[in-house]
Structure 1
Amino acid sequence: MSRFLARVLIAALGLWLAASVVPGVSYAGWLDLLLAALLLGVVNAIVRPIVFLLTLPLTILTLGLFLLVVNAAMIGLVALLLPGFTVAGLVPGILAAIVTGLVSWVGQMALGDGRSD
């Protein structure tokens, strides 16, 4: 449970950083940011695998770069479902996906894989 909360907080940190450095990404308050991080986790667990499979040929054709568009679409879906979190278009969504992905990657490296040695 604590790893789950840590991952939500890391995602919230990534979304906060994206809102701070990417024009066109904003949030109304900290609660909206935490809800956006939680909802992004749910969307990434349920919707993203389906979208990934449907767009797999295009992802292969673009050598994986289309995954940025898929990730931006997931952040856009969160913005659509949560009124306190907004993304102003595709380019801010892609930039937010890059920032959030980098922060999540660093956070995952800091958390480790969860296995006890």
Structure 2
Amino acid sequence: MKLLSKWLLSAMALLAVAHLYSGVEVQSFGSALIAAVVIGLFNTLLRPVLVILTLPVTLITLGLFLFVINALMFWWAAGLLDGFQVRDFSAALIGSLLYTVAGMIINSALDSLFPK
């Protein structure tokens, strides 16, 4: 139940990001659902590999390069999907920051609703 709730809320967060920031466009709620899954899969499968491969750069930038990795995940997901577009890399950076903040709020709320 928690996973389904997180998926639906993440799709709604993606729609909210598209509404708040013009650099990100989502055509429908169905597109947002698919985009949320793709972003989640990228963050689960690709992000750890990229973090390890870019560890020296991440250490030199005191962790700020992780924002670039998040933006790349966001941008690549938009590149794969038709109903989800991101204008350019700077839009991906801003969109991923907004989406990450929304995801943190969602995780916090779901942790309090579904205690372990």
Q: TM-score, normalised by structure 1?
A: 0.91
Paired letter, 2:79: L
Cα distance in 2, alignment partners of residues 24 and 69 from structure 1: 16
Deviating above 2 A after TM superposition, structure 1's stretches of 4 or more consecutive aligned residues are: 113-116
Asked if 1:111 is matched to 2:110, the reply is yes
Residue 94 of structure 1 corresponds to 93
Of 102-111 and 8-17, the range deviating more from structure 2: 8-17
Residue 29 of structure 2 corresponds to 30
Contact 2:35 2:84 survives alignment (8 Å): yes
Residue 7 of structure 1 corresponds to 6
Q: TM-score, normalised by structure 2?
A: 0.91
Q: For residues 2-49 of structure 1, what are the alpha-carbon distances to aligned partners after superposition, in whole Å with 9 as ceiling and x for unaligned? A: 111122122212211211112210011110011000111111111111
Aligned length: 115
Alignment identity in percent? Answer: 32
Contact 2:23 2:95 survives alignment (8 Å): no
Cα distance in 2, alignment partners of residues 115 and 50 from structure 1: 30
Cα distance in 2, alignment partners of residues 48 and 14 from structure 1: 20
Unaligned runs of 5+ in 2: none
Cα distance in 1, alignment partners of residues 57 and 8 from structure 2: 32
Cα distance in 1, alignment partners of residues 54 and 9 from structure 2: 27
Contact 2:9 2:106 survives alignment (8 Å): yes
Unaligned runs of 5+ in 1: none
